[in-house]
Amino acid sequence: MLPLRRLPSLPHGSTRRRLLATGASAASPLPWPGLHAWRRAPPSELRTWGPNGPCVPDAATADQPEAVAGAGASLAEMGALVLSTADPLAKTQLTHAAFSQWASGGLPVGLARAPDHPARPDKPLVVTRKEIPTHKAMGVPLNAYMLHNLAHVELNAIDLAWDTVVRFSPLRDTLGDGFFTDFARVADDESRHFRWYSQRLAELGFRYGDMPVHNLLWNECAKSSSDVSARMAVIPLVQEARGLDAGPRLVQKLLGFADHRSAEIVSKVAEEELAHVSVGLYWFLKVCQMMGRVPGATFRDLIEEYGIVVKGPFNYLSRDEAGIPREWYDEKLKHEAASELSEVHDRLALVVEMEKENAG
């Protein structure tokens, strides 16, 4: 098992220099109002996109969770099985089975080893980001090209959520069952999103695997494999937050392409991603509290330490709704906040000097 940092201790390296409990902390971010309802909802069976939106699939196309429900003795073991499953649809079925069994109280968290890389099918071809051809170069319609890219993002998101469950299962006594419930639910949401995109691709005459993809998302995940605070910062608060930024733009492109059905799917997925960003923020704040760290300063230090690029354009309204403070990611606001803090420190220093003079 990969050694993990114990939460109460400070990590080594540059992170030792992070600000601790000082006057530099900003007001606590407000949680997304829908988080409680999201957590209490039963596993969603709306895994098909019907004429009027998400619906329950018919018997011929429905997942068969009972066929795989006994494939692992714990949530972590089921997660490791998902990560070791190459077939994308089988991965979604296992995910739904695992979360459904967990939600019914039929599994402990348990312990398992996360593979270094999730299993993948022979197709799609994985290339570097620069080698990804345009839709025009491949001769495919823009909407199919976009949906294939989004399906790949969702497939990675399934594995990212399960990797979080499995990799940090040794910290169950510290984090509590709620952490694992949340990220198993995220995985189940992502499996449903992949099913919607796969279905729409098939309606357009394509399938996942028909176009090249890159591995950037998983590479970002690997950076945070030994630090739960880094995992929360890198994946929900950066990678998934990018989905909040991109969602409205993608919807407009699809509407411009006159593909209203695809636009509705993308809009619904972007709406549901709000919960994933919010729950990541919740656990990031929780871990920072456990470790006695200032969240905003810790987030910025982690992003710098792990070489993560945070760039706009930002969907401020959605990010605000998810609860991410703007000064955490907006360079202009970050510098303004630092300048204001410097002025406060200068005024405090002046007051201290004046008190010394008066005392003398």
What is the C-alpha to C-alpha distance for residues 307 and 324, in angstroms, rounded to an integer? 20
Residue 349's pLDDT is 54
Residue ranges of the domains in the chain?
A: 36-41+48-329, 334-360
Residue 311's pLDDT is 87
CB 163 within 8 A of CB 249: no
Model pLDDT for residues 81-90, shown as the tens digit of each residue: 999 999 999 9
Question: 146: pLDDT confidence band, cut at 50, 70 and 90?
Answer: very high
What is the C-alpha to C-alpha distance for residues 354 and 357, in angstroms, rounded to an integer? 5
Residue 218's pLDDT is 82
Residue 9's pLDDT is 34
Continuous H helices in 168-259 = 172-175, 177-203, 216-223, 228-234, 241-256
Write the secondary structure of 119-186 as one string of H (helix), E (strand) and C (coil): CCCCCCCECCHHHCCCHHHHCCCHHHHHHHHHHHHHHHHHHHHHHHHHHCHHHHHHHCHHHHHHHHHH
- Please state which of the ranges 180-184, 194-198, 325-329 shows the lowest mean pLDDT: 325-329
How much is the average pLDDT of 12-23?
34
Question: 63: pLDDT confidence band, cut at 50, 70 and 90?
Answer: low
How much is the average pLDDT of 195-212?
97
Q: Is the pLDDT of residue 339 over 80?
A: no
DSSP per residue over 7-60, as a string? TTSPPSGGGGGS--SSTT--PPPPPPTTHHHHHHSPPP---EEETTEEEPPPTT
Residue 64's pLDDT is 58
- List of residues 6+ apart from 148 with CB closer than 8 A: 124, 201, 206, 208, 210, 211, 213
Question: 334: pLDDT confidence band, cut at 50, 70 and 90?
Answer: low
Model pLDDT for residues 102-119, shown as the tens digit of each residue: 999 989 999 999 998 999
What is the C-alpha to C-alpha distance for residues 101 and 70, in angstroms, rounded to an integer? 9
What is the C-alpha to C-alpha distance for residues 287 and 319, in angstroms, rounded to an integer? 20
Q: Is the pLDDT of residue 183 over 50?
A: yes
Structure tokens at 65: 């969770």
- The length of the chain is 360
